[in-house]
Amino acid sequence: MVPSELIKEIAKYGLENDQDNLYRALNVLIEHFKTHKKVNFAIQLQSLLRDALRDHQNTGMVKVGSPQYVLREQDREVGELIIDKLTSDYRFDNLVCSAEIKSELTYFIQEHASLDILQQYELPISNKLIFYGPSGCGKTLAAYVLAGELKKMMVVVNLGAIVSSKLGETSKNLAKIFRQAAREECIIFVDEFDSIGKVRDYGQDHGEMKRVVNTILQLFDYLPQQSIVIAATNQIDMIDDALLRRFDLKLKFDLPDPAHIKEIIAKTVKSNAIAFDKEVTQTSLISACKGLSYYSIQRTLVTAMKRSIFQKKDGTNMPKISTALWLSLLKKEKLGQKKSA
Could you list the residues that contact Mg ion (CB under 5 A)? Answer: 139-140
* Strand bridging mode 154-158 / 187-191: parallel
Q: Helix, strand or coil for residue 81?
A: helix
Tell me the per-residue interface mask from 48 to 67 with ligand ADP, x by CB under 6 A, - otherwise. Answer: --------------------
Q: Which residues have CB under 8 Å from 246's CB, separation 6+?
A: 128, 217, 220
Q: Rule CB under 6 A: choose which of 42, 137, 228, 261 binds ligand ADP.
A: 137
Contact 136, 180 (CB under 8 A): no
Using the contact rule CB under 6 A, the part of the chain among 92-100, 103-111, 281-289, 314-322 near ligand ADP is 92-100
Number of residues interacting with ligand ADP: please give it, by CB under 6 A. 16
- Does position 130 interact with ligand ADP (CB under 6 A)? The reply is no
The Cα 223–Cα 185 span in angstroms is 10
Least Å distance between CB 191 and ligand ADP? Answer: 8
The Cα 172–Cα 176 span in angstroms is 6
- Does position 95 interact with ligand ADP (CB under 6 A)? The reply is yes
- Residue 66 DSSP one-character state: S
Residue 232, amino acid: A
Q: Rule CB under 6 A: choose which of 40, 214, 298, 328 binds ligand ADP.
A: 298
Q: Which residue is nearest to ligand ADP (CB)?
A: 138
- Does position 138 interact with ligand ADP (CB under 6 A)? The reply is yes
The Cα 7–Cα 45 span in angstroms is 13
Of 67 and 160, the one with the shorter C-beta distance to Mg ion is 160
Least Å distance between CB 191 and Mg ion? Answer: 6
The Cα 323–Cα 278 span in angstroms is 7
> Beta strands of the chain (E only): which ranges?
82-86, 128-132, 154-158, 187-191, 228-233, 249-252, 275-276, 320-321
Q: Which residue is nearest to Mg ion (CB)?
A: 140
- End-to-end Cα distance, the chain: 61
Using the contact rule CB under 6 A, the part of the chain among 1-9, 41-49, 238-246, 292-300 near ligand ADP is 292-300
- Does position 140 interact with ligand ADP (CB under 6 A)? The reply is yes
Of 141 and 162, the one with the shorter C-beta distance to ligand ADP is 141
* Strand bridging mode 275-276 / 320-321: parallel
- Does position 136 interact with ligand ADP (CB under 6 A)? The reply is yes
Using the contact rule CB under 6 A, the part of the chain among 90-98, 200-208, 313-321, 333-341 near ligand ADP is 90-98
- Does position 22 interact with ligand ADP (CB under 6 A)? The reply is no
- Does position 112 interact with ligand ADP (CB under 6 A)? The reply is no
* Strand bridging mode 128-132 / 228-233: parallel
Least Å distance between CB 142 and ligand ADP? Answer: 7
Q: Rule CB under 6 A: choose which of 181, 264, 292, 329 binds ligand ADP.
A: 264
Least Å distance between CB 231 and Mg ion? Answer: 11
Contact 234, 135 (CB under 8 A): yes
The Cα 235–Cα 133 span in angstroms is 7
Which helix (H) or strand (E) segment holds residue 177: the answer is helix 169-183
- Does position 103 interact with ligand ADP (CB under 6 A)? The reply is no
Q: In the complex, which residues of this chain contact ligand ADP (CB under 6 A)?
A: 95-97, 135-141, 232, 253, 264, 294-295, 298
